[in-house]
Chains A and B, each alone.
Chain A
Amino acid sequence: RKEVEQDPGPFNVPEGATVAFNCTYSNSASQSFFWYRQDCRKEPKLLMSVYSSGNEDGRFTAQLNRASQYISLLIRDSKLSDSATYLCVAQGGNTPLVFGKGTRLSVIA
């Protein structure tokens, strides 16, 4: 079983819609969590860290539920430029980042 699991999608949503992705992790020792964004044929780049209290960055909101071991990403008022693959990432202590396979989002005009 993969340590970090995501729905691969694709999620096809119209511009302006709100879309949410969930991700579950199996390693209860994981301490740090992130969302990375990967555009087609490009490298992954950090979108935002995920804090226990939840955090927001503009139209993006990330939340962590340690009891249920899941992480979420909410995108409000989606733009065409949000089309990409979103990778959920967990890290435990000094271990390297463990990536989910990603969820593909297509925002349609």
Chain B
Amino acid sequence: DAGVIQSPRHEVTEMGQEVTLRCKPISGHNSLFWYRQTMMRGLELLIYFNNNVPIDDSGMPEDRFSAKMPNASFSTLKIQPSEPRDSAVYFCASTTSGGVEAFFGQGTRLTVV
């Protein structure tokens, strides 16, 4: 099993540009989570999906952030327009319904200059 796959691993972009982060969950997992990690705020849940349906997006900072899960094997997190304060590591994680362990991808390190 390849685990949760995220791309890109690193992204450097200029303020105002659109950024798209991608995630492929583990096959058979039906819950997918997007987290953001910074030194100041730790690991924060942005949004999670169950069976491709967004369940709770209350953690999404503002309208500049959007997430989609068009099918069970793919999700995107988009930031438009990006700002320097969006700089962080963005993790995608997946789990089975009612599963104990969340499996994380290696993260995307985003730097907005």
Contacts and interface: CB of A to CB of B under 8 A. Distances in A.
Given A32-B100, A43-B107, A46-B101, A98 B45 contact: yes
A10 B41 CA distance: 16
Contact of A96 (B33, B42, B100, B105): B33
**Interface extent on B, as a size class?**
10 to 19
Contact of B105 (A43, A97, A100): A43
B12 interface: no
Nearest to A4: B42
Contact of B56 (A2, A34, A49, A96): A96
A99 interface: yes
A44 interface: yes
A98 B45 CA distance: 8
Interface in A16-66: 32, 34, 42-46, 49
The 7 closest A-B pairs by CB, nearest first: A101-B42, A43-B104, A99-B43, A46-B101, A96-B48, A44-B104, A43-B106
Interface of B: 31, 33, 35, 41-43, 45, 48, 56, 91, 98, 100-102, 104-107
